[in-house]
Amino acid sequence: MNIRAQVSSVFHLDKCIGCHTCSIACKNLWTDRKGVEYMWWNNVETKPGTGYPTQWEDQEKYHGGWEKNGRRLQLRLGGRGGLLGNIFHNPRLPTMDDYYEPFTYRYGELISAPAGNDQPTARPVSMISGRPMEIQAGPNWDDDLSGSGIYAANDPGVLHLSPEQQAQMFAVERLVMFYLPRICNHCLNAACVAGCPSGAIYKRGKDGIVLINQDKCRGWRMCVSACPYKKTYYGWATGKSEKCVLCYPRLEAGEAPACFHSCVGRIRYLGVLLYDADRIETATMQDDKDLVAAQRQIILDPFDPQVQAEARKAGIPEQVVEAAQRSPVYLFVKKWQIALPLHPEFRTLPMLFYVPPLLPVVSEEHLGTQRLVDDYFTTLENARLPVQYLAGLFAGGNTEEIKAVYRKLMAVRIQRRRITVGDVSESEVAKARELGKVSAEEIEAIFRMTALTSIKQRIVIPPMLREQAIEAGMDPERYKQEMGFGSRRPPKRRW
């Protein structure tokens, strides 16, 4: 056993209202510079939709993530020699047109225009060349456009469905959508790390945050292709790749990451998980449908005395184990098993988990869902949002995983309905609990964690032990003379 700690998160999709506040908080803090305008380390997508960059989930096109090659796992980009052979021109690199060309407007022309009969206009201009441009796309261009023949219909997840299911999703009365906020998953088996020719990308041992060493990055661009989630980005002005840093300077100061802190729907949970690094390889070699269960298995119980002893042996501080015991992520992912990883079939072991959205399924049954318990559970396949679609997103195609989550979430709804409205009989609640394999107490706990928590319960930041980082990395005498941490050179091309 080789225990490590990982700062992980859960996004509760039923609570996401698609307001993009998280994206704006992140943009203002991190990517408000020349060359990175197009980067959205946090973005919110409408599903079904093509996403950002366009069709990022289509690995036939981008060759991101891992694939099984006999008994070994190999990057879909190819072996190491082949990857280096493509270093001069990476054939799988998405270009700016796959994201969007960043733009601004010539606002000054609104006031500087000479007097005339026409209303002055602010022309859109490219933020790259500065020339006037026709705006063709943006970071959330398909926002709310479910049912669109251009966007939703080209969602790679939709394209994998049967024609009947596709028709069902696009029937006007049954149109359905939900929001998918995405940040870097800080994977256990990160493909960006494995693909970096310079070895600039690394996982921090203490907390599992994946970072790009800006001094080591040489702009070979392989991480951009290797990451199946397209969450590393190439900075076109500096020639360096950048990615979500999980706001580690904020975490080290005990603050929630900006996107978590600003989340209006309070959908974001953060906590530390203990896992067994020795079992990563086994977990990534399972069949697609078993990947979720395998990933759950390598996450360890922080209350287990044996795990605690092993953690101590591995040098994980007591406070971190304590934080793991209070981790909401552990509850959602391991104890209740209602949060699932995004696209586990990419085999990177993403450590950001999603509670799948229940709402579209419930609304399928108009006129009192709770009266139709039996029907509801037997007709999950015909639900407004096909279970297969969700299984493609969150379970490597394993519909049973999705159904198990939904049965549990429905049991929560039905029991709470009995308590707050009272029009459900106890026998119906009992039946829902039995189907959902969940106890009455657990339901109350899920309900409280979903709806009634304070920020301190939702976001449990382990001590980040910054003091050790300073000791190890720098001569304290030298550090004393510096003014604050971080790079004091502007991120610009200088040579």
Partner 1 sequence: MTDLILFGVLPYIAVTVAVCGSVYRYAVDRYSLSSQSSQFLESRTLFWGTVPWHYTIVPILLAHLLAFLFPAAWGTLLGRPLRLYLLEISGMALGLVAGVAMVVFLVRRAGNPRIGAVTTVIDWVLLAVLLLQVATGVYIAVTLRWGSLWYLHTTTPWLWSLVQLDPQVSYMAVMPAIVKVHAVNAFFLLALVPFSRLIHMISVPLAYLGRSAQVVVWYRR
User: What's the min distance (Å) between Cβ of 477 and partner 1?
Assistant: 18
Tell me which stretch binds partner 1 (CB under 8 A): 209-217, 296-304, 355-363, 366-374.
209-217
Tell me which stretch binds partner 1 (CB under 8 A): 198-206, 257-265, 289-297, 364-372.
198-206
Tell me: does residue 278 bind partner 1 (CB under 8 A). no
Tell me: does residue 202 bind partner 1 (CB under 8 A). yes
Residues in contact with partner 1, shown as a per-residue x/- string from 217 to 236 under the rule CB under 8 A: xxxxx--x---------x-x
Is the CB of residue 292 less than 8 Å from the CB of residue 344? yes
Closest C-alpha to 207, from 417, 463, 455, 424: 463
Tell me: does residue 134 bind partner 1 (CB under 8 A). no
Indicate which single residue of 237, 293, 359, 430 sits in contact with partner 1 (rule: CB under 8 A): 237
Q: Cα angle vertex 59, ends 58, 63, to 5°?
A: 145
Closest to partner 1 by CB, 205 or 368: 205
Closest C-alpha to 333, from 378, 416, 394, 288: 394
Closest to partner 1 by CB, 238 or 398: 238
Distance CA 8, CA 329 (A): 7
Q: Which helix (H) or strand (E) holds 184?
A: none
User: What's the min distance (Å) between Cβ of 97 and partner 1?
Assistant: 9
Give the 3-state secondary structure of residue 244. coil
Distance CA 30, CA 12 (A): 24
User: What's the min distance (Å) between Cβ of 458 and partner 1?
Assistant: 27
How many residues touch partner 1 under the rule CB under 8 A: the total is 59
Is the CB of residue 395 less than 8 Å from the CB of residue 354? no
Joined together, the tokens standing for residue 292 give 């979720």
Is the CB of residue 41 less than 8 Å from the CB of residue 308? no
User: What's the min distance (Å) between Cβ of 188 and partner 1?
Assistant: 9
Tell me: does residue 312 bind partner 1 (CB under 8 A). no
- Strand runs (DSSP E) across 30-94, as ranges? 43-47, 66-69, 72-75
Residues in contact with partner 1, shown as a per-residue x/- string from 44 to 83 under the rule CB under 8 A: ------------------------------------xx-x
Instruction: Dump the DSSP string for 286-320.
Output: S-GGGHHHHHHHHEE-TT-HHHHHHHHHTT--HHH
- DSSP state, 78? -
Residues 350-379 close enough to bind partner 1 by CB under 8 A? none
User: What's the min distance (Å) between Cβ of 279 and partner 1?
Assistant: 14
Closest to partner 1 by CB, 223 or 446: 223
Go through 40-56 and write b for each residue having 16 or more CB atoms within 10 A of its CB, e for each that does not.
bbbbbbbbbbbbbbbbb
- DSSP state, 256? P
Tell me: does residue 84 bind partner 1 (CB under 8 A). yes
Distance CA 462, CA 5 (A): 10
User: What's the min distance (Å) between Cβ of 282 and partner 1?
Assistant: 15
User: What's the min distance (Å) between Cβ of 250 and partner 1?
Assistant: 18
Closest C-alpha to 209, from 1, 490, 8: 8
Tell me: does residue 347 bind partner 1 (CB under 8 A). no
Closest C-alpha to 94, from 222, 225, 190: 225
User: What's the min distance (Å) between Cβ of 200 and partner 1?
Assistant: 9
Closest C-alpha to 194, from 227, 149, 230, 218: 227
Tell me: does residue 487 bind partner 1 (CB under 8 A). yes
Tell me: does residue 484 bind partner 1 (CB under 8 A). no
Alpha helices for 106-155 (secondary structure H): 108-112
**Please, which residues bridge with residue 11 across strands?**
268, 354
Tell me: does residue 95 bind partner 1 (CB under 8 A). yes
Tell me: does residue 112 bind partner 1 (CB under 8 A). no
Indicate which single residue of 165, 168, 198, 325 sits in contact with partner 1 (rule: CB under 8 A): 198
Indicate which single residue of 1, 24, 93, 285 sits in contact with partner 1 (rule: CB under 8 A): 93
Map tokens 């552990």 to a residue: 330
Residues at the site binding partner 1, with contacts judged by CB under 8 A: 80-81, 83-84, 87-91, 93, 95-96, 126, 128-131, 189-190, 193-194, 196-199, 201-206, 214-221, 224, 234, 236-240, 315, 465, 468-469, 471-473, 487, 489, 491, 493-495
